[in-house]
Amino acid sequence: MNTAPKTSPDGVFAALEQEVEHARKTQAVKSWYAYPISGTIAGGATSPFLISIMQGMDFQCEAITGSAFYYSSSVASAFPMPMSMSATSVGNWASRGLTINMITDTGTGRTLCSGAIPFELIATPGYGVSLTRAFPLRYMFQRNSKVQFDIRSLETNTAVAHQFNIVLIGYNYMTAANPGK
């Protein structure tokens, strides 16, 4: 294998050629990846939801994002954000949101948060309609581990369900000893 630096005939593009070659070598062991999870939680319920990290790949999480909306079976409509109870409501619209009670890395057994965090603070746009900025969550998850989210609906009306989506965004890494198989 020729390890001499590559250069163009006139030397102008040498730096660019080296940058592209470095990117190709890096991409062979590091690639962008997103782990999604979605679910539905009835009013008053707390449920665990799992993301499985790919076998043979360590995952360097860089950010977390998500969105949520709630659904009322009696109104038969989805609403993008929690609405306060009012005299005009039929009593089945969500008046409270979701909390993320715990995020656990099963590979190490570490708990990544303590206490209930309102969903809209971590998962942007949360209950909004446009992504503003993904929440930085920089953490290395070991291969074959699971990320458990314990999510709770603060809604007291069991006829109202929240639906949510969460995405962990980052990079999968593989090594020559374990090539991602």
pLDDT of residue 90: 44
pLDDT at 72 (0 to 100): 59
pLDDT at 47: 93
- What is the spatial distance between Cα 143 and Cα 170, in angstroms, rounded to a whole number? 14
- Report the pLDDT value the prediction gives residue 9, as an integer from 0 to 100: 59
Check residue 2 and give its pLDDT: 56
Domains, the chain, with CATH or none: 32-173 (2.60.120)
Q: Report the run of H or E that residue 156 belongs to, with start and end.
A: none
Smallest Cα–Cα separation from 147: which of 88, 60, 32? 60
In our burial notation (b when 16+ CB lie closer than 10 A, e otherwise), range 48-86 reads ebebebeebbbbebebbbbbbbbbbeeeeeeeeebeeee
- State the pLDDT at residue 87: 39
Name the stretches of the chain with pLDDT < 50: 75-94, 178-181
User: Hey, what's the torsion of the CAs at 172, 176, 178, 181, to 10 degrees?
Assistant: 80
